[in-house]
Amino acid sequence: MDQILGQVLRNAVWERLDMLSELAQRADAPSLVSVARSELPRLTEGWRAMLLAHEPDERGDCPTCSTRWHRCKAPCPVWQVAHEHLVAGGLAPQQDPKRRRPAPAQARSAAPSAAETTGRHALVRTPAPRRALA
C-alpha cells in the first residue's frame, strides 16, 4: 500500500512540475505573472522546508542523508542540487530536463522500478546500499 501511495504522490509532483514548465514556455505575459505570484511562494517554501530537513547537525553531517553506518557530510546532495539550480544557474552544466524526467504515468510499466519504490528521484543522488560487514 505504501508503494502505491508513494507512486501516486511522485506522479502528482512530476505532473505539477511538467504543468509549470509548460506554462513557463507557452503562457502569455499576464498568465505568467499570475502563475508566478501564486506558484513562486509555494516553490520557495517547498525548497526551504526541504533544505531545513538537510541542515547540518553539530558534527557537520546531514541528518536526513546520513544513516547509522554512513555519515553524509555537508553539503549533502540536496544542498548541492539546490545550489546548482538556485544559485549557479547558467554557470552549471545543464542537463536536458526531458532526460531527467520519468515517463508520464500512463506510459509506465505496471511494476515500479527500484528508484520508484524507494522514493529516490533524479534530483537527489542517494548513496549506494552498504554491504553488511562479515
Q: Is the pLDDT of residue 107 over 50?
A: no
CA distance 24 to 22: 5
- Write down the mean pLDDT value for the chain: 78
For residue 75, is the peptide bond before it cis, meaning its omega torsion is within 30 degrees of 0? yes
Helix/strand/coil for 73: strand
- Model confidence at 26: pLDDT above 50: yes
Phi, psi of 40 (to 5 degrees): -60, -45
Determine the residue type at 65: C
Sequence-separated (6 or more) residues with CB below 8 Å from residue 85:
92
Cβ–Cβ < 8 Å for 54, 62: yes
How large is the average pLDDT for residues 7-18?
95
Average pLDDT score over residue span 114-129: 42
Is the CB of residue 10 less than 8 Å from the CB of residue 118?
Answer: no
Per-residue model confidence (pLDDT) at position 101: 53
Dig out the grid coordinates for 93 from the structure. 552544466
The yes-or-no verdict on residue 63 having pLDDT over 70 is yes
Angle at 43 between CA 75 and CA 2, to 5 degrees: 80
Annotated domain spans of the chain: 9-53, 55-90
* Cα-based distances in Å from 120 to 1, 42, 65, 102, 123: 17, 22, 12, 12, 8
pLDDT at 94 over 80: no
Highest mean pLDDT among 6-20, 80-94, 104-118: 6-20
